[in-house]
C-alpha cells in the first residue's frame, strides 16, 4: 500500500464533516527538496469543490492528519501545498518491507498481452550502431512491461527480400569466387555486408562510365548494367527460380548465424521471428475486402489507394497497378497475423523516427478497416545515433558494426579498469567477463538514459567513465555494496525498531520506496530513460550516504544493522533496475 492511501480516508472524512463535500481523488507528490516534508498534498484541485483560502484549507487538513494519523509527525504549508512529515518508525517499516520483498517493485499481473517489435534487420548487412539503439530500447521496454505485469511477446520482422538483398547476392556471385564465412574467417553477416559494399563500388563505377559517355546522371543510375542484373535477379527470385532461391537461402543462413551470435552477446532474444519473404503478400486479401467496403479505391491504371486527406494526411498507395504489394500492404497483413497468432491487446513498434509518417498511415488504415485493436498500436519512435564524426552509411561501408563496437567497448573498459588496478587478483577469464559486462553496460546505459525521441551522439570514451551518469559508475556502486555485505557477519533478519534516522538514511529510503512507481511510469511512457535516471539518482543518494556515514564502523550494532540492510536493499534495486534495462551488474569490480 502506498502511504497516500493511508491519508485519503481521513481527508475524505474531514472534508465531509467540515465542508459537506465527498471527494474521491486527491493529488499527491514527493515533497520538493527545498522544503521540509516527505509527502505533499496539492490542495489547489480541491478548490473546485470548496470555495476557501488554500492555505487555510491546507493547514486544517494538516492539523487533522497530525491528530489522527500516527505516522504524521508534523507539517508545513507553502501556498496551496501541504507538506507532511512522516515518522522514523514509518520509514523503518518501509525499509523492512523492501528488504524482505525479494521481488520488490514487481507489479501485479494484468490481463493484457503486449507485443514489442524491435531489431527487424535486413539480411544484406550486419547489425550496426543504429540497430544497437533499436535493440537496446525495444528489449528494455519489453522487460519493463513484463515486470509491470503485462504478458509480453518479443518479436522482429526480418527483411529478407527485395532489391537490396539481391545486390549482395549478385556481388557475391560476380566477385566472391565461392567465398564462405569459413574460408574468409568472417561472421556470415559481415561477409554478406562486404558484398553489399562491393556492389555499391561496382555500381558507382558503372554510373561514372556511362556519364563519361555523355549519358545524364539520372539515366546512368537507372541503366547501370549491374543494377539491371540485380533487378532481373529479384524478378527471378519472385518467380521461384531454383538457382536464385538456393543462393538466397545459402546467404541468408550465413546472416542468421551471424545475427544469432550478436544477439547472444548483447543478451537479447525473441519469442518469434517473422520473415518478409513469408509476409509480403499477407495484406492483399485484406486490401481486397477493404475495396469492397469502400475503404480503398482503384485508379484507372488499376493501382489501389486510400485517401486520408480528411485526417490531415495524403493519399497512399496500397497495391501497385500490376497488383504487387508495397510495404504498407505487408505491414497491414503482418499486424493482423500477429493479433491472430498471439491474441495481443497492444503492439509496440520500435522503429526510428524517419518512419513516423508511415506508422500514422498504417494505424489509421487499420482503424478504417474496422480493427478495434488498432487504437492500441504504438510507434516507439526514436532518434538516430551518430558518431562524433557524423552519420553512418551501410552501402559505403562507413557504419560501425555492432560486433566491432561491442569489442571496442570491451577493450575500452579493459583499459580504464586496468588503470584503476582494482582487479589484479582476477584470473584472465574473470577479467574478460568483467570487461565485457562493463563495456556492454556502458554502451546500453549511454543509449537508454536518453529520452528515446532525442538524437544521440555516441562517445565511447565518455560512456565508460567511472564517474557521473554512466553505466560503469552504477555498476561500481553495486560492486562496492557487495563488498560491504561480504564483510558483514551479523543477522540481517533482525528488525530495527526505535531507530532514529539520519537525514542521509531517510533520503535513501525515500528514493528506494519510489521504485514501484518508477517502474509503472517507465512502463506507461515506454521509456527506459525514466528507470535509468532513477537508478542514477538512487546511486548518487547511496554514495552521499556512504561518504557521510560509517556503515561497518557504525557506533552501535543497531546502527550497523540498519545501514547494512539499507545497503543490501539498494544493491537489490540497482540489480533489478539494471536487469530490466538488459544490463548486468558485477559482484566484484
pLDDT tens, residue by residue, 258-306: 999 999 999 999 999 999 999 988 999 999 999 999 999 999 999 999 9
Q: What is the CATH number of the domain that holds 533?
A: 1.10.730.10
pLDDT of 387 > 90? The answer is no
Could you tell me if residue 465 is inside a domain? yes
- 485 occurs within a structural domain: yes
Instruction: Provide the domain count of the chain.
Output: 3
- Residue 232 CA: distances (Å) to CA of 226, 237, 344: 10, 9, 40
Q: Are residues 81 and 187 in the same domain?
A: no
Instruction: Yes or no: say if 401 and 259 are a contact pair by the CB < 8 Å rule.
Output: no
Q: Say what the pLDDT of residue 386 is.
A: 80
Task: Tell me which of 324 and 151 has the higher pLDDT.
Answer: 151
On the question of pLDDT at 395 being above 50, the answer is no
Q: Is residue 110 domain-resident? A: no
Q: Is the pLDDT of residue 397 over 60?
A: no
Of the candidates 57, 86, 115, which is a domain's last residue?
86
Question: What proportions of the chain, in percent to the nearest 5, are helix, strand and coil?
Answer: 55, 10, 30
Q: What is the mean pLDDT of residues 433-438?
A: 94
178 and 73 co-located in one domain: no
10 Å CB burial of residue 296 (0-12, 13-18, 19+) is: buried
User: Does residue 296 sit within a domain?
Assistant: no
Between 576 and 388, residue with greater pLDDT: 576
User: Mean pLDDT across the stretch 436-440?
Assistant: 94
What value does the mean pLDDT of the chain take? 94
Work out the average pLDDT over 114-130: 95
Question: 166 and 79: one domain?
Answer: no
Mean pLDDT confidence for 390-413: 73
Last residue of a domain, one of 216, 242, 272: 272
Across 172-187, average pLDDT = 97
Given pLDDT bands bounded at 50, 70 and 90, which one contains residue 15?
very high
Q: pLDDT class for 463, splitting at 50, 70, 90?
A: confident
Whether residues 82 and 183 share a domain: the answer is: no
- 53 and 169 inside one domain: no
Q: Which residues pair with 306 in a beta bridge?
A: 316
Mean pLDDT of 12-23: 95
Domain-embedded: residue 454: yes
Q: What is the mean pLDDT of residues 449-458?
A: 92
Of the three residues 61, 86, 111, the one that is the final residue of a domain is 86
Same domain, 429 and 560: yes
What does the block give as the cell for 495? 528488525
Strands of 91-213 (E only): list them: 113-117, 151-158
Looking at residue 538, its pLDDT comes to 98
**Same domain, yes or no: 82 and 169:** no
Q: Looking at residue 394, what is its pLDDT?
A: 44
- Is 422 in the same domain as 560? yes
Note whether residue 61 is domain-resident.
yes
| In the predicted structure, residue 491 carries a pLDDT above the cut 80 | yes
In a domain, 235, yes or no: yes
- Residue range 215-246, pLDDT digits in tens: 999 999 999 999 999 999 999 999 999 999 99
My answer on whether 428 and 573 are in the same domain is yes
**CATH number, position 15:** 3.30.1360.70
Residue 255 lies in domain: 162-272
The pTM (predicted TM-score) of the whole model is 0.92
Is residue 169 a part of any domain in this protein? Answer: yes
Q: What percent of the chain has pLDDT over 90?
A: 86
Per the model's pLDDT, the better-predicted residue between 460 and 385 turns out to be: 385
66 shares its domain with 207: no
- The pLDDT tens digits for 65-85 are 999 999 999 999 999 999 999
- The burial class, CB within 10 Å (0-12 / 13-18 / 19+), for 183 is exposed
221 and 80 together in one domain: no
**Residue 77 and residue 203 share a domain:** no
Least confident span in 313-317, 416-420, 559-563: 416-420
Amino acid at each position: 500500500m502506498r502511504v497516500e492511501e493511508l491519508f485519503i480516508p481521513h481527508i475524505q472524512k474531514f472534508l465531509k464533516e467540515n465542508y459537506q463535500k465527498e471527494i474521491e481523488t486527491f493529488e499527491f507528490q514527493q515533497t520538493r527538496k527545498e522544503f521540509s516534508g516527505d509527502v505533499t498534498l496539492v490542495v489547489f484541485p480541491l478548490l473546485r469543490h470548496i470555495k476557501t483560502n488554500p492555505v487555510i484549507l491546507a493547514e486544517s487538513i494538516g492539523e487533522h492528519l497530525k491528530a489522527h494519523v500516527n505516522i504524521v509527525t508534523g507539517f508545513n504549508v507553502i501556498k496551496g501545498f501541504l507538506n507532511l512529515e512522516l515518522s522514523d518508525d514509518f520509514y523503518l517499516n518501509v525499509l523492512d518491507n523492501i528488504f524482505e520483498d525479494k521481488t520488490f517493485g514487481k507489479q501485479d499481473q494484468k490481463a493484457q498481452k503486449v507485443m514489442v517489435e524491435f531489431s527487424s534487420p535486413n539480411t544484406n548487412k550486419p547489425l550496426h550502431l543504429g540497430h544497437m539503439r533499436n535493440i537496446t530500447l525495444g528489449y528494455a521496454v519489453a522487460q519493463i512491461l513484463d515486470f509491470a505485469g503485462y504478458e509480453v511477446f518479443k518479436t522482429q520482422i526480418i527483411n529478407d527480400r527485395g532489391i537490396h538483398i539481391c545486390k549482395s547476392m549478385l556481388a557475391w556471385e560476380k566477385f566472391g569466387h565461392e567465398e564462405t564465412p569459413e574460408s574468409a574467417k568472417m561472421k556470415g553477416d559481415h561477409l554478406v555486408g562486404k558484398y553489399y559494399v562491393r556492389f555499391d563500388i561496382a555500381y558507382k563505377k558503372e554510373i561514372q562510365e556511362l556519364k563519361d559517355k555523355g549519358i545524364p546522371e539520372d539515366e546512368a543510375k537507372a541503366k547501370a548494367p549491374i543494377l539491371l542484373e540485380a533487378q532481373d535477379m529479384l524478378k527471378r527470385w519472385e518467380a521461384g527460380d531454383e538457382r536464385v532461391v538456393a543462393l538466397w537461402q545459402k546467404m541468408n543462413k550465413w546472416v542468421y548465424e551471424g545475427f544469432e551470435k550478436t544477439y547472444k552477446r548483447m543478451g537479447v532474444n525473441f519469442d518469434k521471428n517473422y520473415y518478409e519473404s513469408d509476409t509480403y503478400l499477407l495484406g492483399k486479401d485484406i486490401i481486397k475486402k477493404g475495396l469492397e467496403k469502400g475503404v480503398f479505391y482503384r485508379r484507372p491504371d488499376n493501382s489501389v489507394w486510400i485517401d486520408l486527406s480528411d485526417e490531415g494526411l495524403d493519399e497512399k498507395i496500397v497495391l501497385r497497378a500490376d497488383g504487387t504489394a508495397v510495404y504498407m500492404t505487408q505491414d497491414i497483413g503482418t499486424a493482423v497475423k500477429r493479433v491472430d497468432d498471439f491474441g495481443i491487446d497492444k503492439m509496440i513498434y520500435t522503429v526510428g523516427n524517419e518512419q513516423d509518417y508511415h506508422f500514422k498511415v498504417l494505424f489509421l488504415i487499420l482503424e478504417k478497416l474496422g480493427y478495434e485493436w488498432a487504437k492500441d498500436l504504438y510507434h516507439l519512435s526514436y532518434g538516430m545515433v551518430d558518431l562524433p564524426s557524423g552519420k553512418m552509411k551501410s552501402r559505403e561501408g562507413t557504419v560501425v558494426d555492432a560486433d566491432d563496437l561491442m569489442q571496442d567497448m570491451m577493450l575500452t573498459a579493459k583499459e580504464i579498469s586496468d588503470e584503476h588496478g582494482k582487479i589484479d587478483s582476477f584470473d584472465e577469464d574473470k577479467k574478460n567477463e568483467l570487461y565485457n559486462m562493463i563495456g556492454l553496460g556502458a554502451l546500453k546505459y549511454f543509449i537508454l538514459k536518453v529520452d528515446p525521441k532525442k538524437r544521440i551522439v555516441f562517445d565511447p570514451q565518455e560512456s565508460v567513465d567511472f564517474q557521473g551518469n554512466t553505466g560503469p559508475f552504477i555498476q561500481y556502486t553495486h560492486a562496492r555494496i557487495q563488498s560491504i555485505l561480504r564483510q558483514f557477519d551479523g543477522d540481517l533478519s533482525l528488525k530495527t525498531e526505535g531507530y532514529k534516522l539520519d537525514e542521509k538514511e531517510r533520503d535513501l529510503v525515500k528514493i528506494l520506496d519510489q521504485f514501484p512507481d518508477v517502474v509503472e511510469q517507465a512502463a506507461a511512457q515506454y521509456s527506459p530513460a525514466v528507470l535509468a535516471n532513477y537508478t542514477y539518482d538512487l546511486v548518487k543518494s547511496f554514495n552521499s550516504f556512504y561518504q557521510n556515514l560509517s556503515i561497518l564502523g557504525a557506533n552501535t550494532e543497531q546502527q550497523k544493522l540498519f545501514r547494512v540492510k539499507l545497503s543490501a536493499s539498494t544493491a537489490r534495486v540497482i540489480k533489478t533496475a539494471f536487469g530490466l534495462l538488459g544490463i548486468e551488474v558485477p559482484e566484484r569490480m
